[in-house]
Amino acid sequence: MRHALASRLVRVVTLALLGAAVLFAAWANSAGGGDRVDQALDLEADIEHGQQLYSDLTNPTCASCHSLRDAGATSNIASDLDDFQPSARVTIQSLIAGTTLEHDREGYADELSNQDLADLARYIESVAGN
Q: Provide DSSP, 57-78.
A: ISSS-GGGTS-BGGGTB---SS
Measured CA distances, 12 to 7, 9, 36, 73, 102 (Å): 9, 5, 33, 22, 14
Domain that holds residue 62: 2-127
Rounded CA separation 118/46 (Å): 8
Summarised one tens digit per residue, pLDDT across range 16-58 is 444 444 444 444 444 446 899 999 999 999 999 999 999 998 7
pTM for the complete prediction?
A: 0.72
Rounded CA separation 73/108 (Å): 20
Q: Count of domains in the chain?
A: 1
Give me the amino acid identity at 43.
L
Tell me the CATH number at 41: 1.10.760.10
